[in-house]
Amino acid sequence: MSQEENFEGNIIQNYDFTNELCSWHFNCCDAYVVGQTSGEPIRVTAKSGSSYAVVTNRTETWHGLEQDLSDRVSPGCIYLVSACVRVGRCSGASCSVQATLRLENNSTTDYVFIGRIEASEEKWEQLEGEFVLNTKPDRVVLYFEGPPPGVDLLIDSVLAIPSSHKQLEASLVPKLEKNIIEDHNFVGTTSSVTTTAGESILKNPRFDDGLKNWSGRGCKIFLRGSEGDETIHPYKGKRVFACTGDRCHTWNGIEQEITEQVQRKLAYEMTCVVRLCEASSDSDVQATLWVQYPSGREDYISIAKERASSVEWTRLRGKFLINGRPSRVVIFLEGPPSGTDFLIARFKVKRAKKLQSLRPHALERVVFGENIIKNSSLEDELFGWHVMGSCTLRLCHGSPMLLPHLAKDSLGHHLRLSGRYILATDRSQNWMGPAQTITGRVLPHTTYQVSAWVRVGPVSSGPQDVNVALCVGGSRWVNGGRIQVNDSQWHEIAGSFRLETSAEVAVFLQGPAPGVDLMVAGLNIFAVDRVSRFAFLQRQTDMVRKRDVVVSLQGGANQHMWVKVRQVKNSFPFGACLSRSALDNEDLVDFFLENFNWAVFANELKWAHTEPERGAQNYDDADEMLAFCERHGIPARAHCLFWEVEETLPVWVRSLSQPDLSAAVRDRVDSLLAKYRGRFRHLDVNNEMLHGSFFKDRLGGPAAWAHMFDLAHKADPSLALFVNDYNVEDGNDPASSPEAYARHVVELQENGAQVGGVGIQCHIDSPVGPTIAAALDRLGELGLPVWLTEVDVAAAEEHVRAEDLEVVLREAYAHPAVGGIMLWGFWETAVWRENSHLVNAEGEVNAAGQRLLDLKKEWMTVVEGAADADGEFRFRGFHGSYVIEVDGTTHSFDVDHGDSPLTVEISL
């Protein structure tokens, strides 16, 4: 039977390899077909029942099999892709197999991720995904890649079908009852393979056996069907679901004990499909793990949280890891308010897949030092510009003649503008303004910096937002920079963005209230040249973090003696966030102790953790963590005494009257700081005062904040008292711009607060070095130590994450105002933001983690050479502890901060 008869609409030619490798090409490797038509013995049962392709002699992960689809794809159509894959010669390990689309346009090439799956020698796996093209490239190639070099890739039954067709159902590809392996290249013996790999460790995950193995957590559970109930639509054909009933608390839900099924220090993935019952307001549904230890200690580990509704099904997906040796483990769903019930279609937990690292994205085509905005200076009037919305654009004169400050390093300090600007009037919506299409000028995986002059017309309604935004693919909005202005002066707006795929892109200016005029001049968008910036920062680091040292050899024949100098410790504070449960994981602890010299606690000192109910104080977790730090000689930051954002506070605190709240504040200071007096180095007094106002509104304005500092200082004068806030360094949040943050600190000081340090959280995406440096410059003017207190960068691709992390770390380490850097976690499942980890859950260092290790190695001094005729050996080294070896003896010394050379005398 022909391919067309089997799978109508499939655009893959020779999809089951019955015509050998016709229409297929192998990329930098070899391939052959095994099956009836080739005369080769079938060593592995083909998924299609006849033939399959084997890709071999692979020397790179991207070597694989490909097919040109150029004349068979149409823009705007969604194509569903499916292929049966397997690997060989992999020594029993599983390997990632990926389907990718290569888009070629003249001299440019883009790559689109389609799907990825873990495959093994034991059985066929079905790789699935989809793609859509916004425009038609010159050439479209589908290819398969992924396993490590030397591992064979097996492929069968490749489908790519427009989504309007229904042929891409799992039933079209027969499932094998057995997977027989008969070749020594794969296993070595003939055997029948039965495996539970990939199966859910939860019993009865789809409720096919009713509610067997499930129970209600403080509530009832029962089965409910959609048959005859128009308020519930089926989920993928499934019509019977588990349902909660009589929920009296947010923690009520459905649960299953998995004590016997889970192993410590192994990563698990959870997926769950839920929806609220009819006529319910949208609310969060959360998957949580309850872990109890033999000592009686309990942990509640949040796995995933999503906003659910009563009109559609919502998928929760998350990952968890158990660090310690528990006596009981229960997984459950919770979250909606009391009285709101929810349905569960399925609830699965599987061993987490190990995704193989892909090669870094090539950036050869990126042009640096070039503005991608056409007619930016408006010398060709409004050519290239169009209006977003129904407002009016006019060309005017009188804008700044110089480039915005943050664009000068990349585009030229002496480049002058024309003095012309675009005026947008008759704006009836805040999103209306000037726009320009930049499709084809923005390359994926490249960080772009945004800089412009902006101004608003006369206003009487208070401060106005101005935003550089991007419309991507006609439906997605990306923030490229944001500022708040409250006058009619010109202001610099700065920001950044990065797109992961090629798409239609338009950039536009928006933000002020309807009726307020918007003006823009000198809009610049340009690729960030990180390589050149890093070279500058290395020179800056050499000046800021090093000192000249003269080793003077005293006594004996000291001329021309060979000297070896090795740094054993860098004294710069480089720390990370820890949680109590993390201390149970020996591998995590070893990585922390080897690579960090400061600590901060994630939640264990927060008010909601230490006193969830009034008077029920519990510092057990903090006690254990602080004892751990002191045992290993690691200084610690106390985070945090108060938190100005209302929803972060204990429920009982939020309901207090003004007198009771004042008393509770004093009690909080007394209980925490008296207990730990002299044991912490820093204290975040009131977290995120730029983004919250709970205590300020209830206790007397900014003077209440200063009073908190006064109470903390009196309770423990040894503490450096910090402010701590977020979005300070990225140019995208007017509430916490560097200038706003500096004014905030000055106001605190004017009210009597003894501010001892400025904390920048630095949860950042697409970081731009000059923007970070400008923020550090402004805050450094306060004369206080500036710490990056909660650093993380999030990117799904670990190589991109590595580049982003290097930007942040180099900028901070090279800046003289920075006194320390703290990462907000580093271990997967123990980080706050998804895709921000440096080490995966089972201890493997990824590309971002390796970049950290490489930087720390770079920032250690190792030198050797001969002393001169005066018995002196000179070098310039990083601050820290050293060991010197000369004439068979070893000596220790420290290099501290100082402008003049340090002389170290060594007696021989």
Domain boundary among 192, 207, 232: 192
Over residues 465-474, the mean pLDDT reads 93
The answer, yes or no, to whether residue 618 has pLDDT greater than 90, is yes
For residue 840, is it within any domain?
A: yes
Domain membership of residue 371 (yes or no) is: no
**Whether the predicted pLDDT of 679 surpasses 80:** yes
In the prediction, which pLDDT does 516 show? 94
- Pairing mode, strands 420-425 and 314-321: unpaired
Give the least confident one: 224-228, 439-443, 595-599, 801-805.
224-228
Q: What local confidence, expressed as pLDDT, does residue 416 receive?
A: 85
* 875 and 834 within one domain: no
What is the structure's pLDDT at 363? Answer: 64
In terms of domains, do 143 and 237 share one? no
Mean pLDDT of 545-573: 93
Residue-wise DSSP of 652-698:
HHHT--HHHHHHHHHHHHHHHHHHTTTT-SEEE-EETTTS--HHHHH
Six token digits for residue 29:
């490797």
Residue 166 has pLDDT above 70, yes or no: no
Q: pTM for the complete prediction? A: 0.75
Residue 187 has pLDDT above 60, yes or no: no
Q: Which position has the higher pLDDT, 28 or 654?
A: 654
Domain range holding 20? 3-192
For residues 557 and 587, state if they share a domain.
Answer: no
Greater pLDDT, 561 or 195? 561
On whether the CB atoms of residues 66 and 126 are closer than 8 A, the answer is no
> Is residue 7 scored above 70 in pLDDT?
no
Percent of the chain at pLDDT > 70 equals 92
- pLDDT the model gives residue 486: 87
Specify the higher pLDDT residue, 459 or 232: 232
Q: What is the pLDDT of residue 192?
A: 28
Model pLDDT for residues 325-346, shown as the tens digit of each residue: 999 999 999 999 999 999 999 9
Q: Clarify whether residues 75 and 157 are in a common domain.
A: yes
pLDDT digits (tens, 9 = 90+) for 829-844: 999 999 999 999 999 9
Token pair for 218: 């403080």
CB-count exposure of residue 659 (10 Å: 0-12, 13-18, 19+): exposed
Residue 158 lies in a domain: yes
Using alpha carbons only, give the angle 118, 120, 125 rounded to the nearest 5 degrees: 60
Q: Is 798 a catalytic residue?
A: no
pLDDT at 44: 58
Least confident range of 365-374, 504-513, 594-603: 365-374
Tokens 């002191």 belong to residue? 630
Among 234-248, 303-317, 399-413, which stretch is predicted with the lowest mean pLDDT? 399-413
Residue with the bigger pLDDT between 52 and 461: it is: 52
What local confidence, expressed as pLDDT, does residue 904 receive? 95
- Evaluate if residue 196 carries a pLDDT over 60: no
Q: Between 902 and 28, whose confidence is greater?
A: 902
Q: How far is CA 610 from CA 84, 641, 650, 720, 724, in A?
A: 52, 11, 10, 22, 20
- Mean pLDDT across 426-432: 95
H or E element at residue 709: helix 702-715
Residues 579 and 483 in one domain: no
Count of domains for the chain:
5
Q: Is residue 113 part of a domain?
A: yes
- The CATH number of whichever domain residue 743 belongs to comes to 3.20.20.80
DSSP conformation letters of 429-487? STT-EEEEE-TTTS-TT-EEEEEEEEEE---SSS-EEEEEEEEETTTEEEEEEEEEE-S
pLDDT of residue 179: 30
Strand order of the β-sheet with 215-217 is: 215-217, 253-257, 328-334, 283-292, 298-308
> Any idea which of 115-119, 141-145, 518-522 has the lowest mean pLDDT?
115-119
At 156, which helix (H) or strand (E)? strand 152-162
Name residue, tokens 């490798």: 21
Residue 432 within a domain: yes
Are 561 and 582 in the same domain? no
Q: Report if residue 609 sits inside a domain.
A: no
What span, in angstroms and rounded, lies between the C-alpha atoms of 685 and 705? 9
* Biggest CA pair distance of the chain: 100
Are residues 223 and 136 part of one domain? no
- Is 842 catalytic? The answer is no
- Are 46 and 165 found together in one domain? yes
Q: Give the DSSP letter string of 812-823.
A: HHH-TTEEEEEE
Q: Are 845 and 899 in the same domain?
A: no
DSSP state of 416: B
Q: Can you give the CATH number for the domain in which 870 is found?
A: 2.60.40.10
N-term to C-term CA, the chain: 90
Q: Is the pLDDT of residue 173 over 70?
A: no
182-196, 439-453, 755-769: least confidently modelled range? 182-196
Q: What is the pLDDT of residue 6?
A: 45
- Asked if the model's pLDDT at residue 165 lies above 80, the reply is no
Q: Looking at 300, 330, 351, which one is the last position of a domain?
A: 351
Tell me how crowded residue 398 is: count the other CB atoms within 10 A of its CB: 12
Q: Phi, psi (5° rounding) for residue 216?
A: -85, 140
Which residues touch 43 (CB under 8 Å, ≥6 apart)?
A: 34, 181, 182, 183, 185, 186
Q: What is the band of 232 on the pLDDT scale with cuts at 50, 70, 90?
A: confident
CA angle in degrees (0–180, nearest 5) for 652-653-657? 105
Q: Is the pLDDT of residue 2 over 50?
A: no
**Residue 582 sits in the same domain as residue 718:** yes
Chain centroid offset of residue 697 CA: 34
> pLDDT class for 358, splitting at 50, 70, 90?
low
Residue-level pLDDT at 410: 77
- Are 653 and 606 contacting, i.e. CB atoms less than 8 angstroms apart? no
| Cβ–Cβ < 8 Å for 802, 851 | yes
In a domain, 364, yes or no: no
- Cα separation, 250 vs 286, in Å, equals 10
Q: Are 876 and 628 in contact (CB under 8 A)?
A: no
Nearest to 52 by CA among 69, 65, 62: 65
- pLDDT tier at 640 (50, 70, 90 boundaries)? very high
Domain boundary pick from 496, 528, 560: 528
- Beta-carbon neighbour count of residue 734 at 10 Å? 21
Q: What is the mean pLDDT of residues 715-740?
A: 93
The per-residue pLDDT for range 382-414, each reduced to its tens digit, is: 999 999 999 999 999 999 999 888 888 778 767
For residues 753 and 678, the answer to whether their CB atoms sit within 8 Å is no
Residues 331, 258: Cα–Cα separation, whole Å: 7
The residue whose two tokens read 């499934």 is 238
DSSP assignment string, 386-409: EEESS-EEEEEE---SBPPGGGHH
Q: How confident is the model at residue 269 (pLDDT cuts 50, 70, 90)?
A: very high
Which amino acid is present at 881?
A: S
CB 821 within 8 A of CB 574: yes
The DSSP code sequence of 291-308 is: EE-TTS-EEEEEEEEEEE
Q: Which of 154-168, 191-205, 435-449, 536-550 tops mean pLDDT?
A: 536-550
CATH of the domain at 255: 2.60.120.260
| H or E segment to which residue 574 belongs | strand 574-578
Distance in angstroms (rounded) separating the CA atoms of residues 187 and 39 = 22
- pLDDT score of 261: 92
Q: Average pLDDT over the chain, rounded to whole? A: 89
Residue 244 has pLDDT above 80, yes or no: yes
**Rounded Cα distance, 198 and 123, in Å:** 12
Same domain, 734 and 590: yes
Indicate the pairing of strand 763-764 with strand 636-638: unpaired
Cβ-based burial of 151 (10 A; exposed 0-12, middle 13-18, buried ≥19): buried
Of the listed 118, 790, 811, 828, which one is catalytic?
790
Pairwise CA distance, residues 58 & 73, whole Å: 29
Q: Which of 15-24, 329-338, 389-398, 806-815 has the lowest mean pLDDT?
A: 15-24
- Torsion angle of the four alpha carbons 153, 154, 156, 158, in this order, in degrees rounded to the nearest 10: 0
**Look-up of token digits 């193989």:** 356
The DSSP call for residue 887 is T
Whether the Cβ atoms of residue 808 and residue 447 lie closer than 8 Å to each other:
no
| Same domain assignment for residues 579 and 559 | no
DSSP 766-781: S--HHHHHHHHHHHHT
pLDDT given at position 38: 44
**Which residue out of 269, 688, 729, 803 is catalytically annotated?**
688
Task: Give me the sheet containing 392-397, strands edge to edge.
Answer: 392-397, 420-425, 518-527, 447-456, 491-498
- Residue 776 pLDDT grade (very low, low, confident, very high; cuts 50, 70, 90): very high
Q: Cα–Cα distance between 390 and 12 in angstroms, integer?
A: 45
Contacts 24+ apart (CB under 8 A), 609-614: 610/671, 610/672, 611/650, 611/668, 611/671, 612/650, 613/650, 613/652, 614/650, 614/652, 614/653, 614/664
d(CA 724, CA 342): 39
Which residues lie closer than 8 Å to 73 by C-beta, 6 or more apart? 11, 79, 133, 136, 140
In a domain? residue 758: yes
DSSP string, 870-885: TSEEEEEEESEEEEEE
